[in-house]
Structure 1
C-alpha cells in the first residue's frame, strides 16, 4: 500500500526532463508526434479500408471511391488527433498542476485526448474500437497486477473467460426470437445453427406439439423427436460444417504464414500441425456445439435456453487447441457490450450518455499509461504499434528517471538514456547524471 501511495508523490521535473526528451519545446514535441502519426495512420487506414473494399469482390463505383477516401482521411484524423492531443494534454496537465506524478504522466492526459479524439472517428466504428482497447487494457491491467505481485498467476483464467463467453453467446442465439445482427452473435450462430438445422428444429417442434397432444390421450405411446433420416441429415450437416470451418481456419492460417514468409523472408516456426491449429479449433468448436445441441434437443424434446449454456461449456475445451489470450478477452468484452446494450434497450438498465466514448477514453488512457511507464505489462504488438504511430518517440520517455523516483522497472523493457541540452534542465536532474541521462556535446 505504501508503494502505491508513493506514486502520488509530486515531482518538480519539467515535461522535457520526463517525457519529450528529444525536444525542449512542448509545441515542437507535440507536432513531431502528430506529424509522425499522420503518416503512419494514412498507411494503416489505407490498407484497412482498401482491403475491406477488395473483399467485397465488386468493382467500386465513383461514389464508393469518394467514400473510401473520406473514410481513410477521417480515421487518420482521429488517430493523429489522439496522438497529438496526448502530447499536448500531457504538457498542459503539467503546467496546470505545477508538478507531475506517476499517474499524471500518462493516465490523465491519455483520458483527455482519447475522449476528445473518439468524436472525430465515425460513429459506426466507435463501439468496435472501444471493445478492442478494453480487451487490450484489461489484459494489461492483469499483467500489471501480476508483475507488481498484487495477485498470483491464474493459469486457466483465459479458459474460464472463453467458457463463459461461449455459454453466453450460445444462450443468446438460442433464446432470441429475432436473430441479432451483431457480428459476434452472427459468427457464433454459425457454430450451432445453419438454415437446414433451423428448419429442422422448427419442423420438429411443430411435430413435438402434435405428439404431446397425442401422448396426453395415450401415455404409453412413445415417440422419437428425430427419425433416423432426420438424425442422419443433422449429423451430416454438423460434420460438413465443422470440416468447412476447419478448412477456413487452416487455410487462413497457412495464407498468413505464406504472407509473413514473403514479407519477412523467413519461415515461421512450427510444423503443419501448428499451422493448422486455428482450423482444428474452429472445426472442433463447431462439431462440439452442434452435437451438444442435437443431443440436448433430442432428450428434452424441445429447444431450451439452457441448452445453449450447456453447449457452450461442452464446446469450450476446443479453445485449448489454439490458446490465444486475445480470443477469450475479445469474446468476453464483446459479450458484456451486447448484454449491456440489450439490457439498456429493454429498460433494465439506464442509458448512459456517451457510454461508448467514456469506455474508449478510459481504456485508451490505460494503454497510454502502460506504454509509457509499464511497457512490460503491455502486449508486445501494442507496444510496437505505439512506437510506430509516434515515430518511435514513446520510446524516448525517461523511464530511468521514473524508476529512480518511484522504484519501478519501466526501463527494463525499453532501455533508453536521453541526451539533454544543458540549458534546459534543472540542477536536480543534473545531480542524477549520468545515471538517468547525459548531456549533449556542444
Structure 2
C-alpha cells in the first residue's frame, strides 16, 4: 500500500505497461503530443477569448496579445504532456528497467519542471496554487481510502469558514492585495472597508448615497414591492454603519444581488453545456435553467453576502463599536453558507491563495525568507505527485481532473495496463477492472489473464 519508499522493480517494458497502443516509444510520444496540442488550443483559445471579452480588453489585445498568449500556454501544456511520455520511456532506458518511482513521479517531475518554464512567469504562481490544491485533495483521498484518516463531514465547509474568517479580517483592515480587495468588494460590498478607503471615492459615494427624490418616492408607491423596499430603506441603522440605507435593506440588497448573480452564472454554464443537444432534446434547455445546482450556487453566494453584512451590523449594535475583529466572526459564519454548495476544490484553492498572501506579507515584514522559483518548485512537485497517482491509483484523483487528463491525452491515460501494477499497489485497476490491451505479439508474450477472459 506504500506508494513511495524503497525503489520497487516493476518487471515490464514501457510498451507493456505504459504506451500499450503502440510498441514504439517515439510514436507514443508524438501521439500524445498531437492529442495534447489539439486540446490545448481549444482550452486556451477559448479561455483567453472569454477572459479578454469579460475584461473588455479591446481590439488591441486580440490583435497583439491574444494569439501570443494562447500559443505560449498551448506550448506549455503540450510540452508538459509530451515530455511526461518521453521521460517515462527515457528513464526506463537509463535505469535498465522500470521502478515504481520512475513509473510516473520522476518523469512527471522532469516534464513539469521544463513545461512550467515555457509558460509566462505571470501565470506560474496561479498554476502552482492550482496544482498544490489538486495534490492536497488527492493526498486526502488517498489517506481516507487507506484508513489513515476518517472522512470529516462538512470538512470542506469548515476549511472554507476558517479561511474566510482570516480573509475578511484582513479585508476590513484593507490589508489584502489590490486584486483580492477588488474580489471581496464585489462579493460582499465596499461598506465594510475602513472609512479612509471610502473617502478616496467621494463622488462615487455621494452619487450612490443620494437621497431618493420625490419622483422616486412617487414611483415606489406604484407597487407593493417598491413600497416595502422604501419602508426598509427608511428603517434605522447604527451610526457606525457606513451603508446609506437601513441595515435590513443593506442585508436584503446584498442577498438579492448575489443570489441573482449566482443563478445566472451556474445557469449560464448549464445552458451552454446543453446547446449541442437542443436539436434532439428541446426540453434540455428548460431542464438546464431549472437545474438545482443553479439554486445552490445562488443560495451560497446570496447567503455569504447577507450573513457577512448582517453579522457586522449586529456586532456594531451589540458592542456600539466597529472593529477589524468583527470580520473574523462575520467571515467565519458567512463561510458556512457553503453548506448550500459544497466544494473541496473551492475550499482548498482559497486556502492556498490565503497561504500565498500570508507568505508575501511575511516577506514584506522580513519574517520569512524569499524562496526564488518557489512557484516552479511547487508546480513541479505537485504535478509529479498527481501524475503518479493518476498512473498507480487513478480512483483517488478528483473525478473532474481525471476526466481532464483523459480528454487532453485522447483517452491514452486510460490505456495503461494497471493490472500489472496491482501486485505493487492494490486497487490500481479499480477504474478499469476488465481492460486488457491488444498487444502486438511480436513485442511481448503477455496474454490476457484467465479471470479477464469474457465468456
- 1:68, distance to aligned residue in structure 2 (A): 0.4
TM alignment of 1:30-45, pairs within 5 A: 30-45=29-44
TM-score by length of 2: 0.82
Q: 2: distance between equivalents of 1:139 and 1:293?
A: 33
Shift of 1:308: 1.6
Displacement of 1:401: 0.8
Question: Deviation at 1:17?
Answer: 1.5
| Shift, 1:8, TM fit | 3.4
Counterpart residue number, 2:447 = 433
Aligned-partner Cα distance in 1 for 2:348–2:104 = 24
Q: Residue 414 and residue 270 in structure 1: after superposition, are their counterparts in 2 closer, same or farther (change >3 A)? A: farther
Match of 2:427 in 1: 409
Structure 2 regions of 5+ residues with no counterpart?
A: 200-236
Give TM-score, length-normalised by structure 1: 0.84
Partner SS for 1:105: helix
Shift of 1:187: 2.0
Kindly indicate whether the alpha-carbon contact (under 8 Å) linking 2:21 and 2:415 is maintained by their aligned counterparts in 1: yes
Structure 1 unpaired stretches of 5+: 204-223
Select which of 230, 247, 268 maps to 1:255: 268
Quick check: 1:174–1:303 contact (8 Å CA) kept in 2? Answer: no
Matched residue SS, 1:406: coil
Shift of 1:273: 4.8
For the pair 1:364 / 2:380, whether they are aligned, the reply is no
Following the alignment from structure 1 to structure 2, what is the Cα–Cα distance between the partners of residues 202 and 68? Answer: 35
Q: Give the superposition deviation at 1:143.
A: 0.9
Q: CA deviation at 1:225?
A: 6.0
1:290 aligns with 2:309: yes
Q: Retained in 2: the 8 A contact 1:79–1:117?
A: yes
CA contact (8 A) 2:133 2:349 kept: yes
Deviation of the 1:190 alpha carbon: 3.6
Provide closer, same or farther for how the CA distance between residues 196 and 312 of structure 1 changes in structure 2, counting only shifts above 3 A.
Answer: closer
Deviations 1:17-71 (A, max 9, x none): 211112222222111111211111111111111111222346413x542210001
Q: Compared with structure 1, are the counterparts of its residues 53 and 85 closer, same or farther at alpha carbon in structure 2 (3 Å cutoff)?
A: same
With over 3 angstroms needed to count, the CA separation of the structure-2 counterparts of 1:407 and 1:351, relative to structure 1, is closer
Alignment of 1:180 with 2:177, yes or no, is yes
Change (3 A) 1:239 1:15: same
One of 405, 414, 426 as aligned partner of 1:395: 414
> What is the distance in 2 between the residues matched to 1:6 and 1:73?
39
- Rate the CA distance shift 1:155–1:396 in 2: closer, same or farther, 3 A: same
CA RMSD of aligned residues (A): 2.8
Write the distance in 2 (CA, Å) between the matches of 1:82 and 1:159: 33
> How big is the shift at 1:156?
2.5
- The correspondence of residues 35-434 of structure 1 with structure 2, limited to 5 A, is 35-57=34-56, 59-61=58-60, 64-176=62-174, 180-183=177-180, 185-194=181-190, 199=195, 226=239, 232-265=245-278, 267=284, 273-403=292-422, 405-415=423-433, 416-425=435-444, 430=445, 433-434=447-448
Q: How many residues align?
A: 408
